[in-house]
Structure 1
């Protein structure tokens, strides 16, 4: 997507990519203008993990040339080692207590394209009342709501995290009914990035965004606070897809969340019994799966139920814990775009002990 610089903004603001010297200023801005005590204003370790890559800081900032105040920020998360490919939007804010130029925020969003040279800028976790309409109007993007699917642990009767009014399970097709010949599905735990790269080839399919090896290693094997569970979906011994989960322990119970998926979605069809075993082994109430871009029918065959088809409450927020349902909105450009829970900045700490 091509945008032109509006030179009127450059008369008042220095709009540029941030550098390492700007990080304390950005963190202070987040504390004062986004939310007091926000984790990105308090944890330099988490800030650096999310936004700093060697000497590059993934924020576009606007500094008033006359007052020298930081007036606006637009943070982004890269999907690859270089930031000139696919990126997710993150923190987007212009000071509303100063007399700033109208549409400065829109100009910042356009400068993300101009300054990074990115192929596409997409986003999840967007505010449906502000960001979603703006992306439609000014960027002509497509918008949608992610779907939350789940599968209950049939051995759990006392739910402490979910509120279950209907504990029915989706009928799952057996291996024999999936195909004329027997197909063996298995979940094989992957303990290292090297092991993953040895059994699975990234980006074999025409899917957006492209997540490269740098991203996968950084996101799931080098996280400073979270531990992820990585499993290969094997069909007759061959890895066809990968699921990435995170276990959350709270209220004397636990849940499993599928936060990313790589590969062919049809591989999901035969894993329900393996997910059941994983939930039972970890005593998880359920496994849930926020996604956009996968076929509902495939997820149903895999044993998942669409949360919106029930009156059950399958929480999304755990830091702090809110026992309520939540919608996640996305904006995108290309067809064949997929979104999952860990994309962008959606699966990160909000609290640090």
Structure 2
């Protein structure tokens, strides 16, 4: 009888993992049918960033992960953040196999912190038992105040319109410019590999300048539904202070593009900097700011997180970390299953 084996996957395992995803998790999931997207997210040279468990030829489970080093090979291994992205075991698999997959990853891949975004309540309790801190990402929105009516955004009556103050400018960057504006954990190489080279989405990277001096950068993507558009601010690089004073530039950009709002999911960004930008806390104001666009769901969908940070390296997390900002459309005959069931890591 074959023994249980836990190992890191190789490129030759790709098709069987994609089939497992389809047969034992979510039928028609984009990661079970888009080989280019799957390879872009998980292939790292001559290996896949996936831990698998198998017994003979039978695949029993897998754990996908995205380390910072996937996008920047100069990342210091002991300080990198690893985002867990896809965690599933087969019905009838040995007990605690899922945690064994995680233990294999933690033992063999150096890191400073482990994070995951988009988990459900049952999985959150499992993470808590494993020592993770859990919560909800902050959700901020900056409406386009020059619009008289909105199709996507819903604001309660009497919402105060924050003053758009500041003189920072936003400069649309090319890849050659990224190193001049990026700093910290997400370098110019990281931004290029993660966003400029994405196989499906088109991101816009804007440099933030104060008096001609580069201060950092932000990453935007346009989402569309109901014949309307929104800016999804999915990532940043640089000090948190880069947000203070960019409201006028963002308002001008939203007006020129005809978008209703810019929203930003994050964890670890101080509220004072977001307030100084004119962003409003979605939960505190009672606004409705859709998160799911593939398919479109016209209500708030918070993003839960879990983080294990034994070295007390405080990473700033954004929606672009992990696999929360990727194509999600499923088989059109049952489109809602994909968005609402995504990231169900374990039974």
TM-score (normalised: structure 1): 0.86
CA distance in 2, matches of 1:166, 1:280: 22
Q: For 1:121 and 1:154, how far apart are their aligned partners in 2?
A: 38
Q: CA RMSD in A?
A: 1.9
- Whether the aligned pair in 1 keeps the contact of 2:164 and 2:247 (CA below 8 Å) is no
Look up the match of 2:67: 78
Instruction: Give the alignment partner of residue 259 of structure 1, picking from 223, 234, 240.
Output: 234
Residue 45 in structure 1 maps to residue 36 in structure 2: yes
Structure 1 unaligned runs (5+)? Answer: 1-10, 176-183, 204-209
Q: 1:317 to 1:174 in 2, by over 3 A?
A: closer
Write out aligned runs for 1:169-184 (5 A). Answer: 169-172=160-163, 174-175=165-166, 184=167
Q: Does 1:185 align with 2:168?
A: yes
* Distance in 1 separating the partners of 2:294 and 2:236: 23
Aligned to 1:181: none
1:343 equivalent in alignment to 2:321: yes
> Structure 1 residue 232: deviation in Å?
1.0
Of 100, 108, 128, which aligns to 1:115?
Answer: 108
Preserved CA contact (<8 Å) 1:13 1:62: yes
Change (3 A) 1:72 1:43: same
User: Are 2:12 and 1:17 equivalent residues in the alignment?
Assistant: no
Contact (CA 8 Å) 1:71, 1:95: kept in 2 or not?
A: yes
- Give the whole-Å Cα distance in 2 for the aligned partners of 1:201 and 1:324: 33
Report the alpha carbon displacement of residue 20 of structure 1 after superposing the two structures with TM.
Answer: 1.0
Q: Structure 1 residue 335: deviation in Å?
A: 5.0
Q: Following TM superposition, where does structure 1 have runs of at least 4 consecutive aligned residues deviating by more than 4 angstroms?
A: none
| C-alpha contact (below 8 Å) 1:229/1:245 kept by paired residues | yes
Match of 2:178 in 1: 196
Task: Give the corresponding residue for 1:277.
Answer: 252
Cα distance, 1:248 vs structure 2:
1.1
Residues 79 and 212, structure 1, Cα contact 8 Å, conserved in 2: no
CA–CA distance in 2 between the matches of 1:212 and 1:188?
A: 18
Structure 2 matches for 1:1-353, cutoff 5 A? 12-65=3-56, 68-80=57-69, 81-82=72-73, 84=77, 85-96=80-91, 98=92, 100-130=93-123, 132-138=124-130, 140-166=131-157, 168-172=159-163, 174-175=165-166, 184-190=167-173, 192-197=174-179, 199-203=180-184, 210-332=185-307, 333=309, 334=312, 336-351=314-329
Q: 1:91 to 1:259 in 2, by over 3 A?
A: same
Secondary structure, aligned partner of 2:105: helix
Mapped to 1, the partners of 2:10 and 2:235 lie a distance apart of: 30
> Number of aligned pairs?
321
Pick the structure with greater CA Rg. Answer: 1
- Aligned partners of 1:146 and 1:224: how far apart in 2? 26
Alpha-carbon distance, 1:311 to partner: 2.6
Partner SS state of residue 129, structure 1: helix
Aligned-partner SS, 1:219: helix
CA deviations on 1:26-72 (whole Å, 9 max, x unpaired) are 0000001110000000100110111112211110000013xx21001
Q: Deviations over 1:168-192 (max 9, x none)?
A: 35423744xxxxxxxx4111111x2
Scaled by the length of structure 2, the TM-score of the pair is 0.87
